[in-house]
Chains A and B, each alone.
Chain A
Amino acid sequence: MTGDVGTWPHRHLLDVDSLSRAEIERLLDLAVELRAARTSAETAERLRSVVIGLAFYEASTRTRVSFEVAGRALGATVVDLDVVGSSVSKGESLLDTLRTLQRTGASLIVLRHPASGAPYLAARGADAAIVNAGDGQHAHPTQALADALTLREAIGGPDGSLDGRKIAIVGDILHSRVARSNLHALLALRASVWLAGPPAYVRGFDAWPGVTVARLDEALDGADAVMTLRIQLERAAGGGVPSLAEYARVWGLTEERLALARPDAPVLHPGPTNEGVEISAELAASPRSLIGRQVENGVPVRMAVLSLLASAAHP
């Protein structure tokens, strides 16, 4: 049978930092089970009586759709509070809005917000369990867990562990919530994480234990996997890099650059990609690219997260 989720000790999922290695592995194991049993009758009954509210204060397609699909696959009722563009976001505080959402019966609220830390405010002020679907530049735990599952299946040891694997993350780490959550997840799984990028975008991360900030060639040298991040033009204009063209020339991932990594080392990107900037179109479409798998794994990982948090809310 698919996972007896048992009790889960966490009421919310605000970041990966709250999860132990064993908890991450348990969550990923459940995701694998749910992926296999995605269309089973049992899966479709798991969250039958649960209402999940989506509160996306920032435009998002893939994450919102992924949560919606995950919730529906578990039999939950998914309410999208269409926050962006609706009157709700004008003048009504985040807490007021979430309380409104709770009154619809939502016991799980999936929150995407442009302000770092907003889910902590939400968790303090709302009764519902909060799932962080990305907050500012802080965290994006379900993306990191999907990436962890993808990496585990691509380069994990016999037991699926990432012990001692060298993972290079390239690009704008500073502004990336995906990178921060990945650091927590990969370090918890005992990978060795190397960061490379324009100086302003990697500055300060050398204080993070287990992280090495290095030149691009050093980071790529012998890497077991390489993750690159989206560069945003408006941030580049803020002085981190002079132009996208310069970024592509110096930091863009290509087949040639990737020759420094281990043979067949896979490439990841949380998307959406700027092909020809942070990654070449050929590389993104090559067999080494796991970009599609990252998206596919997003749904079962989010199913696992919702199942575990629902079990914590309704033991």
Chain B
Amino acid sequence: MSDRASFLLAGARLVDPSSGTDVVADLAVVDGMLAEPSPDLRRLDGRGLVVAPALCDLRASLAPDLDDPAAIADLARCAARGGYTSVCLASAPERSRDIPARMAGLHLRAMGAMTRDGAGEQLADLRALADAGVVGVSDAATRSAGLTRAALLYLAPLGMPLVVRAEEPSLAGGALVRAGRVSTRLGLSGWPPSAEVVVVERDLALAAETGGWIHFSRLSTAGALDAIRRARARGVRVTCDVAASHLALWDGWVAGDRRFSWDAADNGSLFARTLDLELAYDAACRTDPPLPSLADARALLAGVSDGTVDAVVSDHAPQPPQRKLVEFAAASPGMVGLQTSLSLGLAAVEVGALELPDLVAALGVRPAALVGERRTLAIGSPADLVVFDPAARWVVERETLASVHANTPLLGRELPGVVRLTVADGRITHGDLADLS
């Protein structure tokens, strides 16, 4: 018997942004390929379920305290549970170098380092990296305008993006939270939006001049998105992503306000309120870049809706307790995200802050296209898809998270969206057909 799946999912909502499809219909998979529905197939009840092209993550990190096989297995469990079949690793190049390009059920992609040894001084052998199959070239901690220009120029004919974090160190240095009411209230040094915007504007000028493709990773400001809209209008080759957590969470979370961005009216009462002993300064809320202001979180969400934002990334970053059960300033940034990204997006969809096809496009179809992968529900294609129940609830808990580490401020939170089935290249990597009968 083939390990490739065959089934007929009847009456599901098929959402495929690659073809503009959004219909309630039957979906058939025969030996791992999308096929015409036929009565011979095992019939599953798809009512209330959504079928979409599988999710593709442009940025996830391996647990820093596990060896590579264990860390990759940890990541693969989370990815399958979260509906992903393809993940691009953000980890240091030495960790991603020897990772098999394709392992069972998960297409692991790697990012090359822009500079030799990631030192930020001299371009790496970018052609060799391209030949080795990296999906892009990412920057080092420091990145001069000169090196950026050189990399864009060199990469332009290769059709490969320069993937950058936009942050000016002299503005961002030492900052722990977004500059604003929360930083003022909590006495944490603030990260001004200009730290991101000035570098985005600079890099867009470099991309325009060189014709190179620049991709901004984890943008967090309205100003950056505005700059990208303007640059696109004049033909600059630019793409970008934002972290799923930055759509729903905002800097108020660091002060203990745990409303999602679409539920929070304002945080004007922050100054008069007693800080919550259990929630204030929770290192689980430390991210890089820091959680956005409420207004910027909403601007990022609007950017996903209008297509300015190409991709929503999980920015999955498992951290062991010794890196999180410490002072806010001493904590490592990041939270686990592969299992919560779709659910956070669905929470936005539930309240009308986002349309489901836009979410599905930003989590799967568009990022996949950026790294040269095709995602479609078209008949004749390999089944690379996710089936989820958008209305079902789950509680984020240590037990429900597949990762070894449970560093997320969402612990204890009930979220909508349960992945019933993840199918990677025709094989089921999460879920059980028996549960859908």
A residues sitting closer than 8 Å to B (CB atoms) are 12, 14-15, 17-18, 93-95, 113, 115-118, 120-121, 123-125, 135-139, 174-175, 177, 180, 187, 204-205, 207-209
Contact = CB atoms under 8 A, between A and B. Distances in A.
Interface stretch (B271-279, B376-384, B387-395): B271-279
B37 interface: no
For the complex of A and B, 3 pairs with smallest distance between CB atoms: A117-B281, A138-B187, A137-B187
A145 to B, nearest CB: 16
Contacts of A177: 187
Contacts of B273: 17
Interface string B257-297: 00000000000100111110110110100000000000000
Contacts of B280: 117, 120
A12 B276 CA distance: 12
Contacts of B186: 116-117, 138
Nearest to A176: B187
Contacts, number: 84
A135 B272 CA distance: 19
B188 A137 contact: yes
Contacts of A116: 186-188, 281, 328-329
A175 B184 CA distance: 9
Nearest to B272: A209
Interface in B186-205: 186-190
A14 B281 CA distance: 12
Interface in B326-363: 326-330
- Bin the interface of chain B by size: 20 to 34
9 contacts: A93-B325, A115-B327, A117-B328, A121-B326, A136-B329, A138-B188, A174-B184, A177-B187, A207-B268
B277 A117 contact: no
A187 B325 CA distance: 33
A301 B273 CA distance: 23
B181 A121 contact: no
Contacts of B147: none
B140 interface: no
B281 A121 contact: yes
B183 interface: yes
Interface in B176-226: 179-181, 183-190
Contact of B271 (A118, A137, A174, A209): A209
Interface of B: 179-181, 183-190, 268, 271-275, 277-278, 280-281, 283, 322, 325-330
Nearest to B190: A204
A126 to B, nearest CB: 12
Contact of B277 (A12, A113, A205): A12
Nearest to A204: B184
Contacts of A207: 181, 184, 268, 271
A175 B322 CA distance: 28
Contacts of B327: 94, 113, 115, 117-118, 121
B277 A204 contact: no
Q: Which of B181, B268, B277 has the most CB of A within 10 A?
A: B277
Nearest to A137: B187
Nearest to B322: A93
B409 to A, nearest CB: 13
B326 A208 contact: no
Nearest to A16: B274
Nearest to B170: A239
B183 A208 contact: no
A35 B329 CA distance: 38
Contacts of B329: 115-117, 136
B283 to A, nearest CB: 8
Contacts of A125: 325
A121 B190 CA distance: 20
Nearest to A177: B187
Contacts of B275: 14-15, 17-18, 120
Nearest to A136: B187
B322 to A, nearest CB: 7
A204 B187 contact: no
B174 to A, nearest CB: 9
Contacts of A115: 327-330
B281 A204 contact: no
A123 B436 CA distance: 47
Given A14-B275, A180-B187, A208-B184, 5 more contacts: A17-B274, A93-B322, A120-B280, A121-B326, A138-B188
A240 to B, nearest CB: 12
Given A120-B281, A121-B281, A125-B325, A204 B274 contact: no
Contacts of B325: 93, 95, 121, 125
Contacts of A208: 184-185, 271
A314 B271 CA distance: 31
Contacts of A123: 277
